[in-house]
Amino acid sequence: MVKKRITIVGSGVAGLAAACRLQALGHQVTVFEANAYPGGKLTQFKLGGYRFDAGPSLFTMPDFLDDVFLAAGKNPRHYYTFRKIDSTCYYFFADGTHLNGYGHVEKFAKEVENVWGIPRQRVLAYLQSSRHTYDTAGTIFLQNSLHRASTWLTCDVAKALLRIPSLGIFTTLHRLNQKRLGDPRLVQLFDRYATYNGSDPYQAPGVLSSVPHLEFNVGTFLPVGGMHAITLSLYQLACDLGVTFRFSTPVKEIQVAGGRAIGVVADNSQQPADAVVSNMDVYHTYRKLLPAQRAPEKTLAQERSSSALIFYWGIRRQFPQLDLHNILFSADYRAEFEGLFKTHTVMPDPTVYVNITSKYEPADAPEGCENWFVMINVPANTGQDWDQLVVTCRSYIVKKINRALGTQIEHLIECETVLDPRSIEVNTSSFQGSLYGTSSNSKFAAFLRHPNFSSRIKNLYFCGGSVHPGGGIPLALNSGKIVSNLIQTKGLSGGLT
C-alpha cells in the first residue's frame, strides 16, 4: 500500500482515534492541536490538592475504545484499565424519594419495586425493549457512514430497516416513556437519557430509549486514574505508533486546489497533505478553515445541543450518601427543557448532577475530602449574560444541594473554578459551547448530521462529536473508525458513492 501523508486537525478523542487507526494502516499521520495538550474536552486539571476531570465523567461501551488498540495490534490493557461501577447513578427526586440506579437489571427493578411499589416486570420489560432498540438501531446508525449507498445494501441493515416501526422513531422519548412506564418519577429517570446527547426528551425521538440499555444491561465504567486516562492511553498509543503531534499549533486554513484538500496552513506555513481530517467542530471548520468554499448551510443551521455550566468544588468533607454519579432532579422537568431549548435560559430549579471521582480514586482529593464536579445543563451560548447566569445558577444549585442533603455546602467549598459555554467554546472551538454538536430533537437528526466526508471537496474528512454518528466518547471514537474505513476503502478520493 502507498503510504500517504494525512493531516488531522485537532486531538479530541475522535482525532486521536482516527490518528491511531490511520497510522496503524501504514499512513504517515500528523496531528495539529491548538492547545498545548491532547484530548480536547476530555482533559483534566488540578486545583488545590484536588484533581478534576474537566469534561466527560461517564464512560460506557469500553469495547469501542479497546477496538482502537486492537486495530493497531496492541493489547488495550497495556494502555489503560477500568472498573465496572455498581450503581449507574444515585437519584434524588423532588418528592424526597431516593433511588439507587443499580447497574444490574434485576437489582434495579427490585429497587424500583421496593421504593415506589412499581412492579419490577415493568422495568424489566422496558430494559428488554431498550436492548432490542439498541441492537437494531445501533446497526444502522452507529457503525457506518449513513451517506454511502454501500451502508444500506448490507443484510444486517436491511433486517434492521424492517424493524424500524418498533423503534420509537415516530414518537418522542417522553411519550414513549409515559406509555411504557407510567409513574412520573420513573418517566423522568428514563427521560434523562435524552441529555446524553444534549437533547430534549419532549422533542427527541423515542429511539433514544436505546441508551439505558448501555448502562443497565452493559454497565458504566470508570478508567483507573479517572476519565483523563482515556486521553492519555490514546495519546500514548499514537506516540508508540509514530504519529507526529504539533501542539499549540492551530490550523488556520484547509487548502483546497482543483476540488481536493491538499494540506493546511499552520505555524505560518503551508503543510502539504494527501488528505485532511477535521476533528474541529464542523461549523467552525467551514466558517474559519474553509471560508472560500460553499458551506452546507442547512446542515450548519441545525439546532445545537445543550451546553453545560460546571462548578468544580474541593469539598472538605465526605458525603457517604453520594456515589460516583448523582442526580438531584428538578420538580418540573418539562419547564427545565423549555428553558434550555425554547427560551434559552435556565429555570430556577435545574436538575443538578454531581460527579465525585474521589469515591473510587482517593488520590483525587485530600484525606477526608471530595472532588465535586457539579453540573447543570444550560442552553448553547447565543449571547446570554453568562456572568450573571453563573452567579444566579450557583445560588440555585447551592439551595438544591442543601435541601437534598441537609447540609450547608457553601461553607464546605475550599476551592472552586467554573466552566461555562463561553469557555467550552474557547477551549475546544465547539460552536456555541455545545457539548455534542447538534441536538437530536428531530426524528431526522441522525440523517441531518454532517457526513464523515465532504461530498464537494475530495480527500477532506470529518470526525468528532459534531458529525455523524454524534457526540459522546463512544460515538466520537466511532467517527474516527468510520473515517479510517472510508479512507481505506475509497482510497483518497472522497465524494458520495
Ligand X SMILES: Cc1cc2nc3c(=O)[nH]c(=O)nc-3n(C[C@H](O)[C@H](O)[C@H](O)COP(=O)(O)OP(=O)(O)OC[C@H]3O[C@@H](n4cnc5c(N)ncnc54)[C@H](O)[C@@H]3O)c2cc1C
List residues binding ligand X (CB under 6 A): 9-15, 32-35, 40-42, 55-58, 250-251, 279-280, 308, 310, 424, 428-430, 435-436, 464-465, 471-473, 476
**Among residues 168 and 464, whose Cβ is nearest to ligand X?**
464
In the complex, least distance from residue 417 CB atom to ligand X, rounded to whole angstroms: 13
**Among residues 201 and 465, whose Cβ is nearest to ligand X?**
465
In the complex, least distance from residue 371 CB atom to ligand X, rounded to whole angstroms: 15
In the complex, least distance from residue 71 CB atom to ligand X, rounded to whole angstroms: 17
In the complex, least distance from residue 32 CB atom to ligand X, rounded to whole angstroms: 5
**Among residues 14 and 20, whose Cβ is nearest to ligand X?**
14
CA distances from 6 to 71, 247, 331, 490 (A): 18, 16, 50, 15
In the complex, least distance from residue 226 CB atom to ligand X, rounded to whole angstroms: 12
Quote the cell numbers at residue 204.
Answer: 427527541
Whole-angstrom distance, CA of residue 80 vs CA of residue 82: 7
**Among residues 315 and 424, whose Cβ is nearest to ligand X?**
424
Lookup result for grid cell 450503581: 87
In the complex, least distance from residue 467 CB atom to ligand X, rounded to whole angstroms: 8
In the complex, least distance from residue 235 CB atom to ligand X, rounded to whole angstroms: 11
Quote the cell numbers at residue 398.
Answer: 447551592
**Among residues 35 and 151, whose Cβ is nearest to ligand X?**
35
Whole-angstrom distance, CA of residue 378 vs CA of residue 436: 13
In the complex, least distance from residue 442 CB atom to ligand X, rounded to whole angstroms: 19
In the complex, least distance from residue 249 CB atom to ligand X, rounded to whole angstroms: 7
**Among residues 41 and 131, whose Cβ is nearest to ligand X?**
41
**Among residues 94 and 262, whose Cβ is nearest to ligand X?**
262
Q: In sequence order, what are the residues at sequence separation of 6 or more whose Cβ sits closer than 8 angstroms to the Cβ of residue 11? A: 19, 31, 33, 35, 38, 39, 40, 235, 245, 279
**Among residues 13 and 446, whose Cβ is nearest to ligand X?**
13
Cβ distance 70 to 76 under 8 Å?
A: yes
In the complex, least distance from residue 28 CB atom to ligand X, rounded to whole angstroms: 18
**Among residues 127 and 463, whose Cβ is nearest to ligand X?**
463
Whole-angstrom distance, CA of residue 462 vs CA of residue 487: 11
**Among residues 191 and 215, whose Cβ is nearest to ligand X?**
215
Amino acid, res. 223: P
